[in-house]
Structure 1
Amino acid sequence: MMSIKYRKAAGKDAQAISELIVPLTRKYVCPTFDESMHDTLLQSMSVENIERYLSEGYLYVVATDDMGEIVGVAAIRDASHLYHLFVSERYQGQGLSRKLWEKVRAEVPENRRPTRFTVNSALNAEHVYRSFGFVRTEEGVRNRNGIIDVPMVLNVDC
């Protein structure tokens, strides 16, 4: 069994992060979005945009396997919004998403810890966020110009 290590991501990880999340997004998220938004969504995950997110202070944590390959990633924007959470297909169903969530959440500086976290869940990922304690903020599915998601919130004790 491989051992997984976790660490904060750096700018040098942008390429590997993008290479992990773009194919997963194309396979799992794009089919739930309006086709007109596929390119916009995928472009938001380009190497250049991941580099920009890292430079703008988004908190990224990566999971690496024994070979040092990035097999999972989680990111928080503005210390309170879970922005990315992706796990390589070969590691799905092994608790890696939960561990990444716990690790990235712990990276939020103590003086910026929020009383609630938000996430815009892909339709087929809602069950994962529910298992973390997130709940829907509104009934039904939200459609913002073809971006289709489920807004969710997790209230936390300070």
Structure 2
Amino acid sequence: MENSLKYQIKVLKMEELEKALALIYNVFMEFEAPHYSEQGIKTFTDFIAFNSIKNMIQDDSLNFWVCYDRKKIVGVIAMKEVSHLGMLFVDKNYHRKGIARHLFETVLTMVRNNFKIKEITVNSSRYAVEFYHKLGFQDTNLEQIVDGIRFTPMKLQIEEI
């Protein structure tokens, strides 16, 4: 694994939202969309529409962090209502370099230090189930399809520090 110190993680600046959403869209279309129905693709692309995400960020129901390789955004993570991991995407050229884990650990530290929650949930894509298991997440149900979105619900118990 490459040294994660070469990558910087910061809270998303609104002026970078379009770049972050483009990364999410591109990774989704390559790795997830092939397993989705047209309805699922539409549901997801509607969800990540600029104004939709901008409104969620502004009303503080969605918090975004981005990972940079110099000035290029190479990964994003978003938490909904602090305790639900809503999105985690890494540029395909940066897979298997520890970026997703580094993004998650950054968010986990923030959650542990600032909130009194006992678990983090995620609706994992097929592609990411093994990754979330490695982080300690456990399935809470079988794979489901809702509005065309295919996912496995999972949760991670957060220990007290």
**TM-score for the superposition, normalised by structure 1:** 0.90
What secondary structure does 1:114 align onto? Answer: coil
Q: 1:52 aligns with which of 52, 55, 64?
A: 55
Q: Which letter maps to 2:97?
A: Q
Select which of 61, 64, 67 maps to 1:63: 67
Residue segments in structure 1 that go unaligned for 5+ positions in a row = none
Count matched residues.
156
CA distance in 2, matches of 1:150, 1:34: 16
Conserved? CA contact 2:63–2:79, under 8 Å: yes
CA RMSD across the alignment: 1.8
Could you tell me how far 1:109 is from its partner in structure 2?
7.3
Give the aligned partner of residue 150 of structure 1: 152
Cα distance in 2 for residues equivalent to 1:109 and 1:12 = 28
CA distance in 2, matches of 1:28, 1:39: 15
8 Å CA contact 2:43, 2:148 repeated in 1: no
2:85 corresponding residue in structure 1: 82
Distance 2:116 2:67 in 1: 22
* Sequence identity (%): 26
Output the CA distance in 1 between the equivalents of 2:20 and 2:112.
23
- Write the deviation string for residues 66-105 of structure 1: whole angstroms up to 9, x where unpaired: 1x11110111111100011011111100110000001122
Q: CA deviation at 1:53?
A: 2.4
Deviation at 1:30, TM superposition (A): 1.6
Distance 1:150 1:122 in 2: 7
1:122 lines up with 2:142 in the alignment:
no
TM-score (norm 2): 0.89
Pick aligned residue for 1:40 from 39, 43, 49: 43
Gaps of 5+ in 2: none
